């Protein structure tokens, strides 16, 4: 569910080409690592990389949104929706990090 929600919010966040390609590459590559963590349930490395990647994307998302936030001169509804979904994804990432950390602990991480 974590992967699906963040994938959908990232797709919606990238709809309007407001955010650069680095936003899409960063988020989609971490979601790919998340799929790897789901497939290999016994791998502690996969879940560690997914958790670390999620924490790093929190920082990069803050930077992307703050730099590329549109000015108030002309903002269409589509741009407003797109940036809103990117912000919503950013707000959900700490919750996702907590859930992934619990999965890390269940797999034997300390």
pTM, to two decimals? 0.79
Domain layout of the chain by residue ranges: 1-107
Instruction: Render pLDDT for 55-110 as a digit per residue (tens, 0 to 9).
Output: 999 999 999 888 888 777 777 878 888 888 889 999 999 999 999 898 888 887 77
> By the 8 A CB rule, do 47 and 104 touch?
yes
pLDDT of residue 60: 92
Mean pLDDT for 8-27 is 86
Residue 48 has pLDDT above 80, yes or no: yes
Sign of CA dihedral 73, 78, 81, 85: negative
What are 24-34's pLDDT values in tens digits? 898 999 999 99
Tokens of 28: 């989609």
- C-alpha to C-alpha distance for 45 and 64, rounded to whole angstroms: 28
């Amino acid at each position: 569910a974590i992967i699906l929600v963040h994938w959908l919010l990232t797709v919606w966040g990238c709809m309007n080409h407001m955010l650069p390609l680095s936003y899409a590459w960063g988020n989609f590559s971490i979601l790919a690592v998340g799929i790897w963590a789901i497939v290999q349930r016994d791998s502690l490395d996969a879940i560690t990389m997914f958790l670390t990647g999620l924490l790093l994307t929190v920082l990069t998302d803050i930077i992307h949104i703050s730099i590329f936030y549109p000015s108030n001169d002309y903002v269409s509804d589509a741009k407003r929706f797109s940036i809103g979904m990117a912000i919503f994804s950013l707000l959900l990432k700490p919750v996702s990090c907590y859930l992934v950390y619990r999965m890390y602990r269940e797999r034997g991480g300390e």
